[in-house]
Amino acid sequence: MGLFRKTKIKAGEVDLGNLPRHIAIIMDGNGRWAKKRGLPRTAGHAQGAETFRTVATYCKDIGIEYLTVYAFSTENWRRPQEEVSAIMGLLEKYLYEATDRMERDRVKMKFFGDTSPVSPKLKALIERTNEISSHYEGCQVNICLNYGGRDEILRAAVSCAEDKAKGMENAFTEGAFSKHLWSAGIPDPELIIRPGGEMRLSNFLLWQAAYSELYFTEKLWPDFSKDEINRAIAWFQTRERRFGGV
């Protein structure tokens, strides 16, 4: 975990018969990508949104069942209002376009996090994507919006305590607890990818990441490509996953 993945695995060396079911990505480096080019941070977020579109489509095409991305954390409200507004505007634009293609492309969407603070327009688009997603099975993209791992765990703990107070038996088992998470019913990610050079989870999927393989790279998110995803998957396929066994 303390080292960057200096893998020499070629991008094409991926076993498509042995893919992780669930990949999660911390989409980091948008602002630094823009700064390196003398552009406003909002330009980095715009390019990052296009990268997300490309990566999500590719993951669906190769057979990944679940893709979870960190779009906006509970801490991101501290950023300048102009930047927050730009991120929300890009998400609105993406969802507006996605509602026309979701059923055709067989991509479902689910949101992790407390969406109550977002604009009425964005809430309506989220409700629309949820409604479309309920009609079919397909690759599921989970978008973490106003999401924090600690907040998620606290909310689940409160719900478990309420169940216990109602007399529910076994309210505090791992299985019962997991049912109160935003990710209820979704397998934990086998692979978590963090571009951008940082080596931390930053409050992302803290419960679900217990046995995830963590792949760090210095490549900034707007520069990510299909080849970069392939390199991460190829590295994952070299791992021996024992889950505490031998």
Residue 116 lies in a domain: yes
pLDDT band at 245 (very low <50, low <70, confident <90, very high): low
Residue 176 lies in a domain: no
Q: Which domain holds residue 75?
A: 22-148+188-236
For the question of residue 230 being annotated catalytic, the response is no
Kindly list the distances between the CA atom of residue 181 and the CA atoms of 22, 129, 146, in Å, as whole numbers in the listed order.
Answer: 16, 20, 14
| pLDDT value of position 2 | 36
Residue 73 lies in a domain: yes
CATH code where residue 99 lies: 3.40.1180.10
Task: Please give the average per-residue pLDDT across 30-36, as a whole number.
Answer: 96
Query: Quick one: CA torsion of 48, 152, 122, 64, rounded to 10 degrees?
Result: 50
Total domains present in the chain: 1
Six-digit token string for 71? 């779009």
Position 170, amino acid:
N
Task: Please give the average per-residue pLDDT across 95-115, as a whole number.
Answer: 86
Residue 77 lies in a domain: yes
The 10s digit of each residue's pLDDT in 122-179 is 999 999 998 888 888 889 999 999 999 999 999 999 999 999 999 888 888 999 999 9
Query: For the whole model, what pTM was predicted?
Result: 0.91
**Alpha helices in the chain, H assignment, sequence order:** 30-36, 41-62, 81-98, 102-105, 120-133, 149-165, 174-178, 226-236
Residue 76 lies in a domain: yes
Q: Which is catalytic among the residues 28, 30, 188, 203?
A: 28
Residue 110 lies in a domain: yes
Residue 243 lies in a domain: no
Residue 168 lies in a domain: no
The 10s digit of each residue's pLDDT in 209-227 is 999 999 999 999 999 999 9
What are the strands of the beta sheet with 139-147, ordered from one edge?
A: 107-112, 139-147, 66-73, 22-26, 191-194, 213-216
Q: Which is catalytic among the residues 15, 30, 61, 76?
A: 76
For the question of residue 28 being annotated catalytic, the response is yes
